[in-house]
Every structure is written in C-alpha cells, then in structure tokens.
Structure 1
C-alpha cells in the first residue's frame, strides 16, 4: 500500500469503532473536573476533544458502526456533543454505571459489535487525544485491519521525540513490512534514563492507547486471561451487562489482556499524536507570543517568558514569571513550575482527601435540561442561576433538608408545586417548601433563566428524591 492509495470508508470487511469517553482527566485540573473531564472541553479550536475524535472516526467508519462508551454522569453531555456531528450517534452512546477502567468499557462496546456481526473487527480509540494528518491515520488503520485479519492484536506506536516518562512504551520486534512490527514487549512509564536510552536507540515507540483486533479473537483471550470478566460477559443474555458492572474487576486492557498474549503487532504511526495529558503539553502545542507565552482568556502578562497563562474567571494579572503554569477558573487557581506539572495529580488527590467539591465540578454544572451556576454559597444557603433550554423539563422531585425560592429573570417558567401548576414570567417568584414535590419546565421558545435561593442545613445535590424524569434518572 502506497501513501497515495485512497482509503474508502468503510474498510474491507466489517470493522466497528469503540470510542472510550470516560475518565476524569485530573492532570488538567482545574479546567478538567470529574463532571466535565478534558474530552468534553474545548482546549483548542472550536470543538471538544471528543468531537474532534468522532469527526475523524466518521471519515472512515459509518455512524452505525461507531460506539461511544462513557460514564453515566456524562452520558447526556456526550450525546449532545456527538449529535452535532451526526444524529445517528445519539443512539450509539453507551453508559457505564461507574468507571471500571478500559477493559470492561471495551467489552461493553463489544457487546454491540458482536450483536451486529460476531466476526467483526473492532478498533478502540481514546476520546481525548490529538491526531493530525487524518489521511495518514486512515492509511495506518487500513494496514492494521490487514494484520488483524491474520488474528493479530494490533496497537499503534508513535515515534518518541523526547525522553517522556509519562507514557507507556512498545518494544519493537520483527519487521513485518509496510511500517508494521511484531511487539517484543511493553514498558510502563520508565524512568528518565531508560526513556532517554529508548529515544537514542530507536527500539521503542510510545503506546498511543489505540488498538484494532478481531472481536472474536479478543474475547477468546479475555476468557483465558480474565475468567471473572468472561463469566460476567457470558451472562449478558440473562441480564444486561450494566447490571453486574459494580461487581467486576477494575482493570485496564493493557494489564488484563494485552500484556498476557502473543501475536501482537504494532503499526508505526504516520500521523502526529499527542495525548494532551498535562499542562506542559498544552503549552507545547499552544500558539506562543514573542516572549514564548501561551495566553488564553483575560490575562495581563508583564515581563513574563515561556509561561502558560489561562483565565476563565476574571482578570489574571501576572508579573515577572518564567517557565510557569498558571490556570484560573471562577473557583480555583493552579500555579506550578512548568517542569512540575506531573504533581497536579497529587494536588487533586489532596483536595479529594479534604472532601473538596473542587475536584467534582465547576461552578457551572451541565445537565440534560440545561445548566446551573453556583453564584454564592455559605452556611445554610446557596444561590444558583439556573438555565433551562426551550422545551426541557427537570425531574419531579423533593428535598428533605432544604427549601427553595425561585425568581424568573427572563423567559417563561412552568412550575408545579404539590400538584398545583402555575406559569411564571419575568420578575415573578415562587416558594418551594421543604419536602414539597415540585417540578420546573420551559414551555417557551427561548432559554429560561431563574435565580434559585436555597436554605437549609444540608444543600448538596444528593438531597434529591426523584419521582419522575424524562431523562431516565429515577433510581429503581
């Protein structure tokens, strides 16, 4: 196959794509949070990392051969984002009840793949990586399908350009021709000296986390390597896989299967790749000014050099900084030397140990009906701005520990309190007593904005009892 050969979708044979869109993206805190991880953010350009991945996949795969696996908490936002690219994809999003790492997520996608065709090939792609040169990417996929048809498990390796200690490495074996090699082994996140030796010797590639394989052959290896997961998989005719999800092992595809099997091949990537796994990567890939700074948002930088400066929450004024990362949101600020960005994970772990909500969400939280922004909070009170999209409605619900007061800023609100409906317009308000069953909807053609004032001894989001919900969030 020559570099000029066209790749006509779909590939020869039947190949499906599984896009993994779970994960919390802690290394890009405070922009990335558990409820809005990096794959759902616009970190460059005009579309999110997820949308960039899906758009690239759709150039090769038909939409009914594309499956997106995400966390239950993200499913509505993921569906909204992929529907912009193709409405068919709304029905192709699968929700994990909770994160169980990459191997169970892949098997959740394979459930749909083998249902469509038990002899299909499957390609697995992370949703949060940057890939440029889509033509080379498609040609590399075509080469991988040839190898997968030979019952090889195929991964994609990237030529290192620096001694990176945050990536896994693939050791190259026999040359299989046409940019492909047998895999001699895997090395997980080596120390600097080892990574530097790999770079100088040219014997290893970065592991991109992308795979292609025969679904049937892969599942045979799961049965051999991970019998607990295999038993769970084999019970899917009696009960949906998600019902047993909480009881299965949390295990990666690399550790669970790939590192335990033979006959693995790697295709050396002809495309450029980056996993955007740190703020250093964001700096490296960003557009730099005359002083080497990457600046985004409302930033005043004086006498700064080689810095990444981002503000999404008010004016960020900095002076005299060099080789520094500073990222500001409405509720948090991160500052660290550029060569210490790997410690951001430790920062997130420390915040989590303190029980901080800064790990979970931004001040603006997206829901299937719209979003809310926390404007202010203190002991026994919280003030939110709630926006409801036209035609959307919240669940019918009640709270054990708080009362609420709603004021309509603009738009039309359809409100129901203890089975009494009413319509509210601009500057009108309603009280929601504690333990009252209530509901809010937007029957209008424009967004509805209200101010909600909560008061009570406990104001967290888990004090919601849902009775009815058009988005299927009522717990049985």
Structure 2
C-alpha cells in the first residue's frame, strides 16, 4: 500500500461489470471483454489489477462486477480478498457502482483517497501512469476535490467525451494539473477538430480520484435519493441481511453515469494530464491497431496463417484460421461462433449481438 504522512490510505475501485458486446464472439455473458487475453498472457482485468498492485495494497482494491461473472472474476483475481469483490444485482451505470464501493471504503477510512478505474482499458508506460495517479491523489487531498485524468488528445476523436479546462495550477509539479471548466459530449468531427485547434481540451479517460468523504458529500448533494439508498445498504454490511437488502434497494435506484450525476454539476473538479499510452479498446479494430504486426500488417492471437492477405486481424481460441486473398478484415473464432467482418465495420459487431438477442439465439451469447 502506498502511504505517507500527506496522503493517508489509498483505495482502488475497478469497475468490471461491463458486457463488451463489440467483442463478440469472444466476449460472452459469462466472460465479457475485461476477462479476455487480448495482449499477452494477462486478461485486461488482470493487467488492471497488477497495475494498481504495483503501488497500493491489494487489501484495498475493490472490484465491482455482476453475479453472472462471479466464477470468472474469482478465478482471475486469486490475490484479492473475496470480501472486496462486490456484485451488483443489476447494472446501474457508473454512479451507483462507484457510490456502492465508496460506502465500503468509508466504513474503514472516510478520509482515504479512492482511485476509480475501468477494468478493460489498455494502458502502457505504467511508471508514468503511477506518477499521474499519485499526482491526482495529492490534488484530491489538498483541494478537497474530485480529480479526473484527462488524456492528451492525439487526433480529433469522435468516440470520446472531452473535458475543457480553465487555469493551470501545476506550479512546480512535473505532471500538469488544471481546474475543470466543463465536461462535453462526444463531438462530431468538425467540433473535435476545433477542440484540438483551440487547445485546453482532453479526452475523458473514465479514471477518477477523490477522498471518499468528498465524493459521498457530492452524491448527497446532487443525488440525495441515491445517497440515502446507499446508506441503507451500508448499514447492512457484514450482516446476513446484506444480500437481500442490496438486491431489493439496488434494483430500484436510478441508472445514471457519474458524469451526468456528479461531474457536470460539482464545482470542485480538477484534472491531471495523462500522457501515458491509453486506449479504451472500444472494438476489435482498436485491438488490431495496438497489436504488433508482421511486415504485411497482419496480426492476431492464436493460430493463424495468411496468404495474399494484408492488414488483417485473427483471433482463434482453438484450431487454425487461414486467410487467403483477404485484406483489412477481422476474423474471430471462439467457441460455437465465428465472426468475419471488414475492419471498418468493427463497430457494428454490437448490432449482431442485438440481432441474436432478437432472434433468441441465446446459446451464442
């Protein structure tokens, strides 16, 4: 655990309840995207856990997931205490998820600093990542604020939300820090280009840092109904009635993101600049782009062979996939299903999942 006189205890919440439908057929209900080994021998979740274990005590790492993922979550996180694995009865977006974990941490140390992280992002240059998180934790404590990590934009992305900053307040700090002006929605291309042109805009990474007490005060102020419901759940922690209380109350809370519920309303929001390599891995195309390729631009996981084919990606969980005379395609063979699509159609994989649901072909989901 990282601790010194100025920082106090640090906690981490890893949000691991997503369904990852854009990664079908590898991502299924019982084993979504965050549990897949897309790069090397670790799943995305395992990489996330290790990244935080490098500078904080695993006893203070919480993971929120869904009951349907209980088996795979426990298999992949043997070092995390079982009491730190929190299962939502139903997904309710990020604000209830973060609020629930904050209630766990508050019982131990309300003045502790919590880092909130998605479980399925690709992050490289982990030393710089650690330094950025610790700089954000210092700001969160000193300013009694909620801190987000903003990624320095490298192109006019339309798939990310943006954060506009006001004055820089870094002083002599190595990692730049700012007061946040506003959160803005995913822009169209012209708007994204204007953001990069004028400067002062960062990609919203979905990484947040705050003192537990400060965050819960914000929930109490901006989402009072949720706060009171979470308090009722907190009162049952450690009791035999906890599971039933959680199930009854949590199913009824409003589904709302932390951005809408808190970040767009609170005034004490700050940003630390993230210059580490980051991608939210929104589709198979993004995995292709961040994978090491051969001379013809082909890459993948598992057994594959390419003949007269270029710039393509293959994922095979068992057996060989051979590509002949095809360029710019994605082929994923996993279990009882196979996906073949053009790389520029990778975002449409989620539509196939919706179609399979409509056709009641649940055995493929």
Same fold, TM-score > 0.5, yes or no? yes
Matched with 1:242 is 246
**Residues 25-44 of structure 1 correspond to what in structure 2 (within 5 A)?**
25-44=20-39
Contact 1:10 1:62 in 2 (8 A): no
Instruction: Report how far residue 271 of structure 1 moved.
Output: 1.7
Residue 101 of structure 1 pairs with residue 106 of structure 2: no
Superposed displacement of residue 175, structure 1: 0.7
TM-aligned CA deviation for residue 358 of structure 1? 4.9
Deviation at 1:9, TM superposition (A): 1.9
In the alignment, structure 1 residue 70 sits paired with structure 2 residue 75:
no
Partner of 1:376: none
Q: Note the C-alpha offset of 1:336.
A: 2.2
Offset of residue 327 of structure 1: 1.6
Matches of 2:120 and 2:138 in 1, distance apart? 26
Measured after TM superposition, the shift of residue 313 of structure 1 is: 4.3
Distance 1:296 1:46 in 2: 11
Does residue 1:48 correspond to 2:43, yes or no?
Answer: yes
After superposition, the C-alpha distances for 1:202-261 in whole angstroms (9 at most, x for unaligned) are 331111111001211211111221122112022232663523111111111111111121
**TM-score of the aligned structures, taking structure 1 as reference length:** 0.70
| Alignment partner, residue 154 of structure 1 | 147
Q: For 2:108 and 2:156, how far apart are their aligned partners in 1? A: 43
Q: What corresponds to 2:195 in structure 1?
A: 198
Larger Rg: 1
Q: Residue 183 of structure 1 is aligned with which of 154, 165, 180?
A: 180
- Is the contact between residue 31 and residue 72 of structure 2 (CA under 8 Å) also seen in structure 1? no
Instruction: Tell me the residue number matched to 1:341.
Output: 346
What pairs with 1:21-420 in structure 2 (closer than 5 Å)?
21-83=16-78, 86=79, 88-149=80-141, 150-177=143-170, 178=173, 179-236=176-233, 237=235, 240=242, 242-243=246-247, 244-358=249-363, 360=365
2:304 alignment partner, SS class: strand
What's the TM-score once normalised by structure 2's chain length?
Answer: 0.91
The verdict on how the C-alpha distance between 1:201 and 1:325 changes in structure 2, with shifts beyond 3 A counting, is farther
Instruction: Give distance in 2, aligned partners of 1:71 and 1:295.
Output: 29
| 3-state SS of 2:184 partner | strand
Count of residues in Structure 1 that have an aligned counterpart in Structure 2: 350
**Structure 1 unaligned spans of 5+:** 1-7, 361-476
- Secondary structure of the residue aligned to 1:257 is helix
How much does 1:199 deviate? 3.0
Once residues 292 and 251 of structure 2 are traced to their aligned partners in structure 1, the CA distance between those partners, rounded to angstroms, is 43
CA distance in 2, matches of 1:77, 1:295: 23
Q: Return closer, same or farther for 1:327/1:92 CA change in 2, 3 Å cut-off.
A: same
Q: Report the Cα distance in structure 2 between the residues aligned to 1:313 and 1:134, rounded to whole angstroms.
A: 31
RMSD between superposed Cα atoms in Å:
1.8
Report the Cα distance in structure 2 between the residues aligned to 1:223 and 1:200, rounded to whole angstroms.
38
Cα deviation, residue 70, structure 1 = 1.0
Contact 1:352–1:359, Cα closer than 8 Å, also in 2: no
Query: Alignment partner of 2:169: what SS?
Result: strand
- Report which structure shows greater RCO (CA 8 Å, sep ≥6): 2
Secondary structure, aligned partner of 1:290: coil
Unaligned segments of structure 2, at least 5 residues: none
Deviation at 1:359, TM superposition (A): 5.4
**Change in 2 beyond 3 A, CA 1:109/1:192:** same
Q: Deviations over 1:356-394 (max 9, x none)?
A: 22553xxxxxxxxxxxxxxxxxxxxxxxxxxxxxxxxxx
Cα 1:297–1:15 change in 2 (3 A) is closer
Alpha-carbon contact 1:19-1:66 (below 8 Å) kept: yes
Write 1 or 2 for the structure with the bigger share of helix.
2
